[in-house]
């Protein structure tokens, strides 16, 4: 299916990436990719094992003359974000990703590509499979469930790794070296509702479509639309002008993705239907204008649908609309020390209807632990105002930058030697497994880099092909000179 990839360079990297795309690997459902990795390592007679949670480690001895070099761990995660366009018929549990090349980028047909972090895995496998790459002893760590909870890194045993140098291959900007990341914590609210018999009237489905979505950390400051926020804003405004009954409201999917689509079904009196349609159409124009530079495909759609039999009770409807308007989304504060660096943010990730509850998921990130907790508390305060049940996840720590890192110095010198220019050294607002790994392995010297990806965590995800070779050359040179 993905034969086109095998003609790309570096050849071995893209051959393995093509194989990875054939294997379903949703978060928490990594059995097939685990089996692939175990068979792959054992077939090549490399030391290969999995731990209790499913993380796989494959070790390869040093090449001749490099035995005295320190152990280095190449780390990537197995799972991928499973997002698709609403009109795409696709089963992430069974189907293979359909990749294609366009204008120098590798993309997928209507789904996430899974280069986050499939391309990191492919690079690690290509190194393990080589017989002409100079390196010391290496071990490749492939973790499970990075995207929905970092549980693979969290469950990693403190004695699983021999290395005290780690290169994380899960960054998305070639030419940039990452030495720190934000910590994160999720907040979940459950707002109970009563079902009532639907009133007489006309039912309409109002949808927000065509948003880019994107990574709730790395893309949170790019002015993208949150479909949950847009849809609720429309409903809240209509609610001020006329009475309607809310039958459903659902939007967004994953905690670490900005909501791309959302929809609601409402019932309105026949006499108000024309005015409501006019308001929605006006909002479509307004929203498209507001997001004209960042969301060219964003739109609001209204269509008549069969009348549902039940609606949400009036009190909960009012509470929900006020809550979704009040709860924050986006950048909460910028760093005072690092120019143009997001310090703290929150993402109104999803609104779902489950067991007579609106289940509202948010995710908070910050490079400062106290600010992360404050962001969670702020959301909890909003939720408590309407009597919602609130719970917080355990969260994960950030990764404090170490500008004196030895592996950073090696990577900087390597980049300058190879490409004649300095790399950008910075921290990232997204979460990386380095925070959890560094907490278990005190003194672990870590760095993160990778080829250029855009639109991750959405069906717009794409990989810039030319940057894979640059990243490949850089990785090999770092391994040689560490």
Domain ranges of the chain: 3-182+398-481, 185-392
Residue whose token pair is 């699983």: 160
Q: Mean of the pLDDT values across residues 283-290?
A: 97
d(CA 251, CA 63): 52
In terms of DSSP bridges, do strands 342-354 and 330-334 run parallel, antiparallel, or are they unpaired?
Answer: antiparallel
Averaged confidence pLDDT in the chain: 96
Tokens of 341: 């660096």
Looking at residue 61, its pLDDT comes to 97
Confirm whether 373 is a catalytic residue: no
Q: Comparing C-alpha atoms, which of 234, 323, 324, 298 is closest to residue 458?
A: 298
Note the pLDDT of residue 474.
98
Q: pTM, whole model, 2 decimals? A: 0.81
The torsion defined by the Cα of 287, 110, 463 and 429, in degrees rounded to 10, comes to 50
How remote is the C-alpha of 70 from its chain's centroid? 32
Active site residue 318: no
Mean pLDDT of 36-41: 98
In the structure, what pLDDT confidence band is assigned to residue 1 with cuts at 50, 70 and 90? Answer: low
185-392 classified as CATH 3.30.70.360 = yes
The helix/strand/coil state of 88 is coil
Question: Does the pLDDT at position 403 exceed 90?
Answer: no
Distances (CA, A) of 397 to 344, 350, 352: 14, 23, 28
| pLDDT for 112 | 96
Q: What is the pLDDT of residues 164-186, one digit of tens each?
A: 999 999 999 999 999 999 999 99
Residue 150 has pLDDT above 70, yes or no: yes
**CATH number assigned to the domain covering 3-182+398-481:** 3.40.630.10
pLDDT of 94 above 90 = yes
Annotated catalytic residue, options 15, 116, 146, 174 = 146
Packing angle of the helix pair 314-326, 369-385 (nearest 10 deg): 160
Q: Do 3-182+398-481 and 185-392 fold alike per CATH? A: no
Catalytic residue among 79, 170, 173, 319: 79
């Amino acid at each position: 299916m993905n034969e086109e990839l095998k003609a790309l360079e570096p050849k071995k990297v893209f051959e393995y990436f093509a194989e990875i795309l054939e294997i379903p690997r949703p978060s928490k459902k990594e059995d097939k990719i685990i089996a692939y990795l175990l068979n792959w390592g054992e077939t090549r007679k490399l030391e290969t094992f999995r731990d209790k949670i499913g993380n796989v480690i494959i070790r390869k001895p040093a090449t001749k003359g490099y035995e005295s070099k320190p152990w280095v761990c190449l780390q990537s995660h197995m799972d991928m974000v499973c997002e698709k366009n609403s009109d795409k018929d696709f089963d992430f549990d069974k189907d293979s990703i359909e990749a294609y090349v366009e204008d120098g980028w590798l993309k997928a047909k209507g789904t996430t590509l899974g280069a986050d972090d499939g391309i990191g895995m492919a690079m690690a496998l290509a190194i393990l499979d080589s017989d002409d790459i100079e390196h010391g002893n290496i071990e490749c760590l492939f973790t499970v469930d990075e995207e929905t909870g970092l549980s693979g890194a969290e469950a990693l045993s403190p004695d699983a790794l021999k290395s005290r140098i780690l290169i994380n291959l899960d960054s998305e900007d070639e030419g940039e070296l990452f030495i720190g990341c934000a910590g994160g914590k999720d907040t979940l609210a459950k707002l109970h509702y009563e079902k009532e018999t639907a009133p007489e009237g006309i039912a309409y489905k109002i949808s927000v479509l065509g948003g880019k979505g994107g990574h709730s950390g790395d893309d949170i400051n790019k002015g993208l639309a949150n479909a949950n926020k847009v849809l609720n804003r429309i409903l809240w405004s209509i609610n001020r002008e006329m009475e309607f009954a809310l039958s459903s409201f659902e939007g967004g999917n994953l905690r670490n993705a900005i909501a791309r689509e959302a929809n609601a079904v409402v019932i309105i009196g026949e006499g108000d239907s024309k005015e409501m349609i006019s308001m929605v159409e006006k909002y479509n124009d307004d929203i498209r204008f507001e997001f004209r530079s960042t969301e060219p495909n964003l739109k609001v759609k209204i269509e008549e649908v069969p009348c549902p039999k039940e609606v949400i009770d009036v009190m909960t409807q009012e509470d929900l609309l006020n809550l979704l308007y009040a709860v924050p989304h986006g950048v909460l504060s910028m760093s005072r020390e690092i120019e143009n660096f997001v310090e703290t943010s929150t993402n109104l990730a999803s609104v779902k209807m489950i067991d007579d509850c609106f289940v509202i998921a948010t995710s908070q990130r910050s490079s400062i632990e106290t600010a992360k907790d404050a962001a969670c508390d702020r959301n909890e305060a909003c939720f408590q105002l309407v009597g919602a049940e609130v719970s917080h996840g355990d969260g994960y720590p950030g990764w404090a930058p170490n500008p004196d890192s030895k592996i950073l110095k090696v990577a900087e010198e390597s980049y300058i030697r190879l490409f004649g220019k300095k790399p950008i050294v910075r921290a990232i607002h997204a979460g990386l497994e380095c925070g959890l790994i560094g907490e278990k392995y005190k003194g672990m010297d870590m760095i993160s880099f990778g080829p250029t990806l855009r639109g991750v965590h959405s069906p717009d995800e794409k990989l810039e092909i030319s940057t894979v070779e640059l990243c490949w050359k850089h990785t090999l040179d770092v391994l040689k000179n560490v």
